[in-house]
Structures are given as structure tokens and as C-alpha cells.
A and B are shown apart, each in its own frame.
Chain A
């Protein structure tokens, strides 16, 4: 029988008392893929990960790893490596002892082999000179690297990471997530990464699964999720942008008296209630010479982000319509709160989704 590589979850449900935390989820990961489970607090992503790990049992559904049904297996029999958010290193062991723990209890190889492999893994995560330190002597970022090495030491079929970077400083977070991705690509290990930080998810994944209230709303490559969100929640959750409600009318969205250019509206029945999403990078601002189709607007706020500045606008003809535009900070002289400008965008840029 052919071994189906990767991980498959079918019909997974989880109910706590009267609350349904996961609604019959289906998920399939390819071998060597890095999938992010992304969503707000309480969406069920950690529960799903823990079910995959075996720390929780689903009320219904099954899990298959490399063709083997593991739904009934306890955690210490599944071949998985887990990195927790914090506090998971054994405090009474050095970094090396922590990493060697898995092989040691499983009895893989001789003691010398275990130690050599442990040192190799610690070197891979950049901690070659810290092998004999105890956890309290290591920084948060270093502790998580040890946790990663420890999880890899048992040569797992899948690697599970439960918000491993959430407890760390911003700079450390950015460095460490790139490292995790690098190691994952090197070892080609199938990985599930839980996070609530969309920047994290978009930057390192092969695919992202956006979750909310126990449902998976969309699973796609990061670029697709960003450019083509499947519904209103995903569009709002990922990236920044304007969200405007109106009626679809052929070439645009009718917002009060104004028609906002949007070719995507043509696919919807005329007059249907719809929401339009417009990303800030697609909006250009002009001081005097307005290109055809540009709309008059007034600047309400400028937020400086370093290399770019995000400008909040209210359309003159429809002041309740709020838009954002991103500009390189160097080009923003003359743009002040209260100033009048013209805002333009390509009609192909906005995404329009029909409301139920």
C-alpha cells in the first residue's frame, strides 16, 4: 500500500461543555510544507495544534500521519516534535541535557552518539557555546532555540510550534522566525506553526490557514491570501486597508452619492450589497494635477512608520468613506492634516465581495 506522505485531518470537531470550539475541520499538509494556523485569540488554532499533538482528543474526526491513523495514539507515541510558547525547558537540565532527553528516553543510539547529535543540533541553532548552561542562564530567544533543537532531536515526522515567538522581543522575534524557516527548509520537515501575528505568518509559510471561531476560512499561499481574500473576515484580518460598504453597480461600488471605481463589482448582480477592500499601497495621492477618475479627499491623519507614511483620508463627496494611502516618507512634504488632495487607484485594485 502506498504511503501517503504528509498530515491529513478529517472532520475534526472539539466541544467543551456546550461550546463548539472546532467545527469539523479538514486539513491536508504536503510533505515538507510549513503551514501557519493564523487567527485571533479564541479561534481554536491552539486547540487544533494540541489535538494534532495528542494533548487533547477530538470529539469526532481522524488524524493521519504518513498514512497511519494516529487519532487514538497518546502524545508520547506520536512521532512529533513540539515547541511551546514558554517555560517548557526542563529547569534542572543544561541545554545539552534538554536536547538529549528525547533520544535518551527512547534509547536511540549510544550515549556518545546522543551527545554528538545534541551538540550538532545546538550548533545548528547557533548555541554551540551554550551547551552547559541551565535555562535560567539563557535569554528568552536562546531558550526557544534550545526548545527547537530538542524537538528536532527526536527526528519527528512533524514539527509543531505553538506561538513560539509570542513571548519574545520584537527584534528577536524577527530574527528567530527567519531562523526557524531556514532550519525547516534545510531539514524538510512538515511543520505546523500557530500564531496570531499575520506578519509572521505571511513571511515564513508555504501556506496560511486563516481561522476564526472554530472554522478555517481560507487556506492559500501568503500572496494569494493577501491579494485575494476569500471573504470579509480574511480581508480585514490580513493587512491594512479601507473597508467600504455599498451597492455593486457595474464598474464600481455605489457609496452614497459617489461611485467608487472597482471593476470587480461587475461580477456581482446590480444593486447587490457588497463590501470593497482597497489596500493602501494601491492608492496614490496628487496635490494639483489629478489624473482622470481621481476623487477629491481631505487628509485627516498622517502616521509615520519610518520608510513609509500612512495617510488617512476622507472623501470630500462622502466624508464617511475613509481610505488609507501609503507613501514613501520622503515624498510627503506638503501633505498635512486638513489639506486637500486627490486620491486615485486602478479600478482593478479593489476587491469586492458580496454580502450575504
Chain B
């Protein structure tokens, strides 16, 4: 009896505070003054909001890719058998903190480093390299991607290091004994075995960047069109819009994420068909 009580309590909590609010929101997106309407949802295709979605998705993809690649290389270095002992503990604790370092503190740190008057920008100017003249700006999607890397790479590390640990040393030795080079091992065994975890990591990184609010808000003051910022504008009343617009934007985000989740499930099922 008791076991089911706990399970039921958890499910009830999820229903009440996660599922219900979301359902209400989605409902609201389709409800106008006179009942069911698609006008708010179709409003998402207007230039302004379409740009926001494009920007958000582009930013999410780019920053997920950066996090995936650099995080994987870093994780490989940390999990390597010859790595110094203290490295792992240091990296684990640092990653856990850095993965949540966002908003004003992060924005401020990067503005002071790579902003138009940032220290590194100035140093590079002294060396004759003017990055702002070359077209770089911290307050662009590129700048955001670099800033996001500060929490995306640690997040990737946290996810992928256990997966790398799961690669049994016997597989490497067997491959060695059969004559495989390091690249052949990774190509035929290492990466295929890691692929489900890599896909999962990309999903997490994408979702993390896609729903990021605090950092772009602090960094760009709302100057770059992003869906999260648009939603907050509606919520805070900065923009004269019906609340349904915010609901529609949120529903749009949910649809994007749900689509990504479906693609991820399909890909993983294929990549992990050799698993139990």
C-alpha cells in the first residue's frame, strides 16, 4: 500500500504543477474573445516572431554543437587513464558550478572580457587585432554562443564523463590485440557505443540554450529577438499584447522542443539497437 502512496503522490504533484499549467497555457493560446481561434498561433508566423524563433533555434543549435564538441574533447582528456588524479575532482566541482553560472554575473564577466571596452578586446587592440572592426560583437548571436559555452561545456562534461567511464577497457585491449589503431577503435567501437549518450547530451544542450532567459536578457537588454525575451516582454507588460500572445509563444516553444525530442527518440532507437 505504502509504495503506491509515494508513487501516487509524486505523480499527483507532477500533474498539478507541471502538466496542468502547461495544458492551461496551450489552451489559452487557442482561445480568443469568442472561443477557439488560430489567430494567435498563426501570429507566430509574423516576421517579428518568426525571426525570434529562427534566432533562438540557431543559437540553440550553435551553442549545443560548441558544447558537444569541446565538452567531448575535454571529457576525453579528463577521463583518460593517464590523467592526473586531482584533475577529475577539480573539474567535476568546477563544472557543477559553472553549469549554473548565468544571468547578470556571466554577462558581466564576458562584457568585461570581450565587450567593446573589455580587457581582452583592449589587449588584442594593442597587438593590432581589432575584433570589433573585423565584425565581431559580443552582443550578437555569435557573442551569445561564446558566452553560453561557459555553461554548456561544463554541462556536457557532467553528462558525458560517466558515459566515457562506461567504455570497458577490455574493448580497447581487444581492438588493440586484433590490430586496430586508435582511430579505428574510436570509429568502429568507441563512438558507436557513445552515440546514444552523445545524442542525449545534444538534446539537453539544445534545450538548455533554447530556453535560456537570464543570460541573453542581461547581455543584450532585449536587443536581439529571442523567443524567451519576447515571452517575458508580454508577461511583464512591456509590450501591449494580449496574454494569449505569450501563451502562443510558449506553446510554440513547447512544439519545437517536442519535435526535437521525437527526432532524438528516433535517432537513439536506431543508434542503440545493439543494446539490451
Contacts and interface: CB of A to CB of B under 8 A. Distances in A.
Given a CB threshold of 8 Å, the question of whether A touches B is answered with: yes
Interface of A: 53-55, 74-77, 80-82, 84, 86-93, 101-102, 105-106, 134, 136, 147, 150-151, 153-154
Nearest to A107: B179
A154 B274 contact: no
B168 A105 contact: no
Contacts of A81: 177-178
A35 B181 CA distance: 30
Contact of B179 (A84, A87, A88, A106): A106
A93 B274 contact: yes
Interface in B183-200: 184, 188-189, 192-193
25 contacts: A53-B177, A55-B173, A55-B176, A75-B173, A75-B177, A76-B176, A80-B177, A82-B173, A82-B177, A84-B173, A84-B174, A87-B171, A88-B168, A88-B170, A88-B173, A88-B174, A89-B174, A90-B171, A90-B188, A92-B274, A93-B188, A101-B180, A105-B181, A106-B178, A150-B174
Contacts of B173: 55, 75, 82, 84, 88
Interface of B: 168, 170-171, 173-181, 184, 188-189, 192-193, 274-276
Contacts of A150: 174, 178
Contacts of B193: 90-92
A51 to B, nearest CB: 13
A87 B193 CA distance: 14
A74 B174 CA distance: 13
User: Which residue, A82, A89, A92, A136, has most C-beta atoms of chain B within 10 A?
Assistant: A92
Nearest to A150: B178
B168 to A, nearest CB: 5
Contacts of A151: 177-178
B223 to A, nearest CB: 47
Contacts of A76: 175-181
B274 to A, nearest CB: 5
B189 A90 contact: yes
B274 A91 contact: yes
Contacts of B192: 92
Contacts of B168: 87-88
Contacts of A55: 173, 176
B254 to A, nearest CB: 34
Contact of B189 (A92, A147, A154): A92
Contact of B275 (A80, A84, A91, A101): A91
B96 to A, nearest CB: 30
B178 A154 contact: yes
A136 B188 CA distance: 18
